[in-house]
Amino acid sequence: MSQYIPPIALVKTWLQLINFSVEKEVRAHSKRMINRNFGSVDLAITYIEQNQQQKTG
């Protein structure tokens, strides 16, 4: 069974919501989704960075 990996745009949105949302529930949900899919915010950021490097060369 393959693991679902969310689109980069969605991961970026979750990270932005964690950092900038004034709604506590929104931040909590976004962090929960990051943790469920990547295990930590740091790993989600690494995922984005690696995918951006692959696209640029």
| Tokens of residue 43, six digits | 């790993």
Query: What rounded mean pLDDT belongs to the chain?
Result: 93
pLDDT, position 53: 83
Reading the block at residue 54, the tokens are 């692959």
Q: Return the pLDDT at 35.
A: 97
Query: Angle 8-20/41-56 helices, nearest 10 degrees?
Result: 140
DSSP secondary-structure letter at 10? H
Mean pLDDT of 23-52: 96
Q: Are 27 and 46 in contact (CB under 8 A)?
A: no
pLDDT band at 2 (very low <50, low <70, confident <90, very high): low
Query: Domain coordinates of the chain in residue numbers?
Result: 8-56
Residue 24 is predicted with a pLDDT of: 98
pTM of the predicted structure, to 2 decimals: 0.86
